[in-house]
Chains A and B, each alone.
Chain A
């Protein structure tokens, strides 16, 4: 009765393999010093305006100095990361063409800043 699910075993194996690769990749992925550093205190980004060179992949480190959790988010930069109180989160951003990229705290929408790529 019912269908034979042995066809799904390859799928499960693929999933497990993907998981293993992710874990291995993450382990090898050392935490280097970030290209851009921002801190958040009293629900304000410091600095609120940051700069980065064009067409170069970069990492942004956000340190949450407030006592409440925040979520660093940006549609344009394609990042979304919860940063606990007192914690630091690092996000990686693709090489960017010149422009102005807004970011904000999703849990406290008034906290906003922007990244300028000349």
Chain B
């Protein structure tokens, strides 16, 4: 029961951090609850499918199927998160003005919501597939699911969800004028961390072998398998023994996002034009 609790908690906790951030990022946008819930549901379904097809997936591409799949969906999540940040840089000021006006529906927000819902689905799929595989394996070894496993898994799910809630509640206390900056930064670091993870998978598959030396070893300071280490791993991509290529891609992702945000950010407008464009958008 404890094993099920711990593993479910660990994976839900990691997905929960990401979902909590995305819930906070979209606070106030009409219909975002449905989009996020849809992302979670899609992620759960995806996790079951991945677990079901693990055998076949592993054998694809000369045995590199798993690594390529993981690297691929992580890269896709990076693109989605980047798109969100760029979109917010373009429309963020306009969005904030609309949200502050009482009860205005933000139809254009749904474009960014779809991208974020996909990120939620990917996060839930990644962590969920491990949970499904683990629980299935335990059940198979025991000759069937047991109450201990079900209770442990359920408690783990509740505790992990509390992390999601805590992340969300903590973030929405940030005053609105800082919220955009804080969430954009969080999203950028999230994306950089996912990009570095994708690199690790490509290196594991032997597809990417350049610059694979370990740059530093801070496992004495904070191991990435400790509780805090895993939290930082999810939030900012902390790895206690990163490869040079991971660091380069991590930095490049941050630079790319910052550059794209700057390139596409809304030009400064005169006050009378702001209200006119908000109505026509």
Interface residues of A (CB under 8 A from B): 1-3, 7-8, 11, 15, 18-19, 22-23, 25-27, 29-31, 57, 59, 67-71, 75-76, 78-85, 87-92, 94-95, 106-107, 109
Q: From residue 171 to 208 of chain B, which have CB atoms closer than 8 A to chain A?
A: 200, 202-207
Q: Would B62 and A69 count as touching, CB distance under 8 A?
A: no
A87, B203: Cβ atoms under 8 Å?
no
Q: How far is the CA of A91 from the CA of B3 in the complex (A)?
A: 26
Please name 28 pairs of A and B residues whose Cβ atoms are closer than 8 Å in the assembled complex, sorted by A. Answer: A3-B90, A8-B83, A19-B72, A22-B207, A23-B61, A23-B68, A26-B68, A26-B207, A31-B63, A67-B140, A70-B137, A71-B133, A75-B225, A78-B203, A78-B204, A79-B204, A81-B58, A81-B67, A81-B204, A83-B58, A85-B137, A89-B63, A91-B204, A92-B204, A94-B209, A94-B214, A95-B212, A107-B137
On chain B, the number of residues with a Cβ less than 8 Å from chain A's Cβ atoms is: 54
B79 within 8 A of A: yes
Residues of B within 8 A of A70 (CB): 137
Picked from B71, B134, B281, the residue with its CB within 8 Å of the CB of A2 is: B281
A8 to B138: give the CA distance in the assembly, Å. 45
Any A CB within 8 A of the CB of B66 = yes
Chain B positions within 8 Å of A109 at CB level: 3
User: What sequence of 0s and 1s flags, for each residue 131-142 of chain B, a beta carbon within 8 Å of any chain A beta carbon?
Assistant: 001101110110
Question: Hey, which chain A residues are within 8 Å of B83, CB to CB?
Answer: 8
Complex-state Cα separation, A2 to B221, whole angstroms: 47
> B167 → chain A, closest Cβ, in Å?
24
Q: Does B7 contact A (CB under 8 A)?
A: yes
Q: Say whether, besides A67-B141, A81-B67, A107-B133, A22 and B72 are in contact (CB < 8 Å).
A: yes
Does chain A have a CB within 8 A of B262?
A: no
* Set of chain B residues within 8 Å of A7, measured between Cβ atoms: 264
B58 touches A82 (CB 8 A): yes
Q: Please, how many angstroms separate the alpha-carbon atoms of A43 and B206 in the complex?
A: 27
**A94 lies within 8 A of B212 (CB):** yes
